[in-house]
Amino acid sequence: MPFGTEFLFSLGIGSFQLVLGVALFLSHRFSMYLKVSFLLFGLFAVMQVRLLALDEDVNCGCFGFATAKVSWASVAIPAGLGMLCLVGLQKRATSATRTRDLENC
**Annotated domain spans of the chain:** 30-104
| Contacts (Cβ under 8 Å, ≥6 apart) of 62 | 44, 68, 74, 77, 78
Determine the pLDDT at residue 66: 59
Please give the single-letter amino acid code of residue 48.
Answer: Q
Q: What is the pLDDT of residues 36-91, one digit of tens each?
A: 888 888 888 888 888 889 888 877 766 666 557 788 888 888 888 889 888 888 88
CA distance 51 to 21: 26
Residue 1: strand, helix, or coil: coil
Distance CA 75, CA 46 (A): 8
Residue 99 has pLDDT above 70, yes or no: no
- 0.75 exceeded by pTM: no
- Predicted confidence at residue 48, as pLDDT, reads 86
